[in-house]
Amino acid sequence: MNSTGIIVLAAGASVRMGSPKQLLQVNGSTLLRHTVQEALRAACGPVLLVLGANENEMRSEVAHLDTETVVNEEWREGMGASIRAGIAALQSMHPECGAAVIMVSDQPLVHSGLVKELVSTHQTTAKSIVACRYADSFGPPVLFQSGFFPQLLSLHGDTGAKALVKQHMNEVAFINFEAGMVDLDTKKDYEQFIKRRTHDYRQL
C-alpha cells in the first residue's frame, strides 16, 4: 500500500500575532515542535516541513526531529504557495506517496491519532479527500489523494485548499475534530487558550 506523506505548513510570518506563533509555548512544547512530533508519531509516511518567514529559528526548533525541510521562497503570497511547495517537494522526493495530509502549525490540540484516522478513513471509504469537521465548518488537517496533486499545485494566494474541497464534495469524507476550531492567530487567542488549558478542551 502506498504511503501517505504529511506536509506541515509553517511558513507564515504570524502578522496578527506580532511574533512567530509557531514558537509559542503550549504544554511544555512549541506549537511547531508539537505539530511535527504528532505528524511523526502517526508513522504513515515522510514528514515534510514547509518553512519561509523566520526560517532559521524554525529549523533550530526541529533540528533534532526526522523531517525534511522545504523552503517556500514565495511565502509572502500566502498558504497557497506553501501548499504548492510542499506538494511539489513530496512528488519529487517521495513519488511513492499515494496521498498527502496537509497540516497547519497553529492547532495546539492536533494529535497523531487524528492523522491516523484521516488515513484509515481514506482507505476504508475510498474517498479521495478526507477533511476534519468542526465548528459548523471543516478544515485541516485534510488528506488529498495524489489525483488532486495537480490542482493543489495550481493554488494561489492565501485561500488554501478549502475551495478545492468545496468543489468536490461528492468525493469527500469527514471525520470529527471539534478541537480543530481552536487555533492561535492572535495574542488574545493564545491568552484564552492558556487560561483554559488543554484539559478544558478535551470535551470538544
Average pLDDT along the chain? 90
Distances (CA, A) of 38 to 34, 42, 108, 160, 168: 6, 6, 11, 22, 28
Per-residue confidence (pLDDT) for residue 123, from 0 to 100: 95
- Of the chain, the percentage scoring pLDDT greater than 90 comes to 69
Maximum distance among all alpha carbons in the chain?
Answer: 44
Class of the CATH domain delimited by 4-201:
alpha beta
Asked which of 27-36, 117-126, 189-198 is least confident by mean pLDDT, the reply is 189-198
Domain spans of the chain, in order of start: 4-201
State pLDDT tens for residues 113-160: 999 999 999 999 999 999 999 988 899 999 999 999 999 999 988 778
Report, as an integer, the average pLDDT of 34-48: 96
